[in-house]
Amino acid sequence: MHLLIFLSLFYLLDGYENVEILSSYPELNVTIPLLFNDNINISILSSIAPSSGNISVYQIVNQNTLILRQIYPASSYCLVYNKTLSCRTLSSTFNRINSNYTIVVDDNFVTSLFNEPLREIKKGVWNVMTSKYSTEALLRLNSDGSSYFSSYNQSQLLDDLLQQIKQSIPLINDHLKIIHNVQSDPSDFSKLLVEFLINKATNPLNEPSINDIVKDLNIIIKNKYISTLADKQFMIFLDDQYGFQIKLINELCHNVKFLDWFTNNVKSVLIFTIIASTDVTCLNILSSNFAGFNFLSALISKKAEMSIIYGAMIDLLIEDIPQLIIQACF
């Protein structure tokens, strides 16, 4: 009897406020990398089957306001492996730097093998936070590399490329990622740019900082024939003129000091040009910060018509842009 009480107490105190949940990935209250898109896992005490209850992710803004980021019934986008429910994450879900999110699991998200629905994980219980510091940087494939990547399975090649880049730093953690975008270099369409996301080290004493990684990779790539890349298979595909470069627009978004300097020293018309010529991902991140402010969304959907609206809007907006970026990013 005492043991039972003890056990129930133990489970009641369990962080998920749900006795049947053993653990989760990501865990409660942890910091995850920006654009985290590993599967979300929930490990359950007993055997289960996915059911119709929704699993959703919300961004928490100002304590009370929740913004939906993704939602689906467990039966559509989750699979069960050995008592673990493993669910898909869109790479657009955790797309705000230094932000809080809550993962909400509705009643009947899974059923036991006796067909009984399991209970929910309430709003605000399973919270995670995106990391505060991250930077996007680019490497460029040379002509050979660009045509090779265009004609083979890119996701496989990018996985392999990332592994070799990490080996050459060397980096064993998850702080460096390749993000979805591989696109032609606007200044030379025959060459592809591959975009990396670098997250701040969680353990600064033992892991290289963002700056270290960018600096090292730049040297390593520029000296690819004699550097650690010399014996790596993908070396021949990397552009050693280009090296490894930080994306300016992302520094504007994420780096307060740089933005300060930039807005004080550079004409706002230049900022506008940078925004207009940047990729849709960053515009999306910028515009998702404005509830009810449509200018940037209009920019996104009308990007093809940019050259037409550019002239009309530029007078109106030049003065507001720096303010806009500041509001957008901080």
Ligand X SMILES: *[C@@H]1O[C@H](CO)[C@@H](O)[C@H](O)[C@H]1NC(C)=O
Stretch that binds ligand X, among 93-101, 136-144, 180-188, 217-225 (CB under 6 A): 93-101
- Using the contact rule CB under 6 A, the part of the chain among 46-54, 87-95, 224-232, 256-264 near ligand X is 46-54
Mapping DSSP onto H, E and C, the string for the chain reads: CHHHHHHHHHHHCCCCCCCCEEEEECCCCEEECCCCCCCEEEEECCCEEECCCEEEEEEEECCCEEEEEEEEEHHHHEEEECCEEEECCCCCCCCCCCCEEEEEECCCCEEECCCCECCCEEEEEEEEEECCCEEEEEEEECHHHHHHHHHCCHHHHHHHHHHHHHHHCCCCCCCEEEEEEEEEECCEEEEEEEEEEEECCCCCCCCCCHHHHHHHHHHHHHCCCCCHHHHCHHHHHECCCCCEEECHHHHHHHCHHHHHHHHHHCCHHHHHHHHHHCCHHHHHHHHCCCCCCCHHHHHHHCHHHHHHHHHHHHHHHHHHHHHHHHHHHC
Q: Is 43 in the site for ligand X (CB under 6 A)?
A: no
Residues in 237-266 that interact with ligand X by CB under 6 A = none
How near is the Cβ of 130 to ligand X at its closest, in Å?
9
Question: Per CB under 6 A, does 167 bind ligand X?
Answer: no
Decide: is 10 part of the binding site for ligand X (CB under 6 A): no
- Of 100-129, binders to ligand X (CB under 6 A) are 100, 106, 129
The size of the interface with ligand X (CB under 6 A), counted in residues, is 23
Q: Which is nearer to ligand X, 96 or 224 (CB)?
A: 96
Residues in 11-40 that interact with ligand X by CB under 6 A? 15, 25, 28-29, 39
Which of 79/236 has CB closer to ligand X? 79
Report if residue 47 touches ligand X, rule: CB under 6 A: no
State which of residues 19, 20, 45, 54 lies at the interface with ligand X (CB under 6 A).
54
Does position 53 interact with ligand X (CB under 6 A)? The reply is: yes
Residue nearest to ligand X (CB): 81
Residues 151, 153, 203, 265: which binds ligand X (CB under 6 A)? 153
The binding site for ligand X (CB under 6 A) comprises: 15, 25, 28-29, 39, 41, 52-54, 71, 73, 81-82, 84, 86, 98-100, 106, 129, 153, 155-156
